[in-house]
Structure 1
Amino acid sequence: MNVLFMGTPDFAVPCLEALVQEGYAVKAVVTQPDKPKGRGHKMMAPPVKICAEKYGIEVLQPQSLREQALMPALLRFQPDVIVVVAYGKLLPKYILDFPRLGCINVHASLLPKYRGAGPIQWSIINGETQTGVTTMYMGEGLDTGDMIFKAETKIAPEETAGMLFERLSVMGASLLVETLKALENGTAPRVPQEDGVASYAPMVTKETGHIDWTRTADEILNLIRGTDPWPGCYTMLGDTVMKIIRASKTAQTGQPGQVLFADKRGLCVACGGGEAVVIDELQMQGGKRMSAVSYLNGHEIPCGIFLG
């Protein structure tokens, strides 16, 4: 079975590794172009490219897939199946129609819930207690194709998006191998999605992490977990950005956003619903991560002021 692999971030790497280790003929990898990162804007290769080069697999990085841009590669490699894992762009019809076994996607949710670019983060932000991975036949819609297999897992109460990301990436690799074996022997099912119960998980942005203190304590704690490690959860102390790394719920009441205490117990802020959270770990704009107590040892935050 000739495979063309399309993927970009860390999440896709275990899937590519699994294909190589299982002996599949990965003819080439298609990934996003290198991008500048960090303060020095140094060009950085996508994680999937780094992985592919480790195994000596040819890497293609087209700026666009439009106007038959990938057709020469498809004709050269003649893939029986195209595996897509977090590639980052919708595939045009000429790609979807090319392989005889179709284009197979590994998606980090239990479809049809959380279609879109941010399923892991939004499942935690929305307080879900269960999630998983789905393999599917790709169509022209956004994560709307027929499902093949699912693998489910519980979301732990303290689990962050980063932790869940790592677990689901490994689960996805195992499910992908199971899916390809079923495709090979003709036993892969086609289960249509119920559009009526579908939900959408848009791409997470920096603004996603901005706390609305009128939300309940549980909702704010979910936001902190769901935006860790990126983009991070934050509030404003005057004109200064305060990132919140870790917090806990406490039995205090006040007006939403009001600082109720700031001492050796931590930094307590009132939420909506007559609840409050204690900020245990934070990072002030331009500073390092530290415990709230350590920060308060050198900086005073008056009780009664409001965070925004």
Structure 2
Amino acid sequence: MKKKIAFATCVQLGLSCIEEIYRIGGNLDLLITLKDEKAKNKSGRIYLDEIATEHNTPLLKINNINDQEVLEGLREYQIDWLFIIGWSQIAKKEVLETPTYGCIGMHPTLLPVGRGRAAIPWAIIKGLDETGVTMFKLDEGVDTGDIIGQAIISLDKNTTATELYKKVDDMHITLTAKFWDDIVNNNITLTKQNEEAATEWPGRKPEDGEILESMTMDEADKLVRASSHPYPGAFYNDGEKTIRIWSALKSVNESEIKLSDGYLIPIDYEIEG
């Protein structure tokens, strides 16, 4: 019997997966997203009206993934699997158990490393050589569910958040296409996460992008690259002015922003105030 699939997202990573599902001939029975006025400034925020209309798919707009109307929608459309991608709210037990087989998420690290938030900026700030994307079955924990599949992404000393976000987006598409048939045929293999190797990364706020004179050139460079689009950008306060920096160069010669061991030269920047 054909499985009925629903998809909840409000960001580009999720929309890319939805587009790939339709591209490979798949079908979705219900789309779920935030109400239009919610999270307008969320990085990568998108709207599903156009794709829902294009494919004549019911679209449910909500305040919270745990709302009663979500449960009612899943029951009404007899959903077997629910994808929840790029969604900051944690689905509670009742939501996880309402679809026949459960819920599927993706996280932009190689779980169990990097559970939590801000995975793309942290991978750059931590100077990782590689990260990736993990598709997994959601449970009541944060990024703790059994793994369906993973894909590795390489980083180097010049990788920016813009570039890494695009690679993460591509890997979401790759994993969606790779495991779609197994999901709709209920033929997935689940692998437990290694709790001994688990790490958790905290969330980041726009103010965490401030460049301080006490930083080294390497620290400032990583922060600029990690905070670039689609994130709010690194910044430096110069008196009453704020310089928001999207890209920069390191220098040992006297220049724009003095650091503990050199100078940072803004290349792409905006002056505010």
- 1:187-206 correspondence runs (5 A): 187-206=187-206
Alignment CA distance shift 1:197-1:17 (3 Å): same
Larger RCO: Structure 1 or Structure 2 (Cα < 8 Å, ≥ 6 residues apart)? 2
1:212 CA displacement: 2.4
Distance in 2, Cα, partners of 1:79 & 1:25: 12
SS in 1 for 2:247: strand
Identity of aligned residues (%): 24
- 1:62-101 correspondence runs (5 A): 62-66=62-66, 68-101=68-101
1:217 CA displacement: 1.0
User: Normalising by structure 1, what TM-score?
Assistant: 0.79
AA aligned opposite 2:270: Q
2:160 matched to 1:172?
Answer: no
SS in 2 for 1:176: helix
Given that residues 3 and 81 in structure 1 are in contact (C-alpha distance below 8 angstroms), is that contact kept between their aligned partners in structure 2? Answer: yes
1:186 CA displacement: 5.1
- 1:86-235 correspondence runs (5 A): 86-185=86-185, 187-229=187-229, 230-235=231-236
SS in 1 for 2:170: helix
Q: Which runs of 5+ in 2 are unaligned?
A: none
Distance in 2, Cα, partners of 1:168 & 1:31: 21
Alignment CA distance shift 1:165-1:218 (3 Å): same
Distance in 2, Cα, partners of 1:108 & 1:283: 29
Alignment CA distance shift 1:166-1:48 (3 Å): farther
Given that residues 127 and 157 in structure 2 are in contact (C-alpha distance below 8 angstroms), is that contact kept between their aligned partners in structure 1? Answer: no
2:264 matched to 1:277?
Answer: yes
Superposed CA offset, 1:113-167 (max 9, x none): 2222311121112222211110001001111111111000112432221221122
1:235 CA displacement: 0.8
Q: What is the RMSD computed on CA atoms of the aligned residues?
A: 2.3
Superposed CA offset, 1:58-92 (max 9, x none): 11112234463322211111112111111231112
2:23 matched to 1:21?
Answer: yes
Q: Which has the larger radius of gyration?
A: 1
Q: Which residue of 2 aligns with 1:301?
A: none
User: Normalising by structure 2, what TM-score?
Assistant: 0.88
- 1:260-299 correspondence runs (5 A): 260-261=254-255, 267=256, 269-272=257-260, 274-285=261-272
Q: Which runs of 5+ in 1 are unaligned?
A: 253-259, 262-266, 287-308
1:56 CA displacement: 2.5
AA aligned opposite 2:126: N
AA aligned opposite 2:54: K
Higher mean alpha-carbon deviation, 274-283 vs 101-110, is at: 274-283
SS in 2 for 1:35: coil
Q: Which residue of 2 aligns with 1:295?
A: none
Distance in 1, Cα, partners of 2:30 & 2:184: 20
Given that residues 106 and 176 in structure 1 are in contact (C-alpha distance below 8 angstroms), is that contact kept between their aligned partners in structure 2? Answer: no
SS in 2 for 1:173: helix
Given that residues 71 and 98 in structure 2 are in contact (C-alpha distance below 8 angstroms), is that contact kept between their aligned partners in structure 1? Answer: no
Distance in 2, Cα, partners of 1:112 & 1:141: 12
1:204 CA displacement: 2.8
Distance in 1, Cα, partners of 2:192 & 2:61: 32
Given that residues 3 and 27 in structure 1 are in contact (C-alpha distance below 8 angstroms), is that contact kept between their aligned partners in structure 2? Answer: yes
Number of aligned positions between the proteins? 267
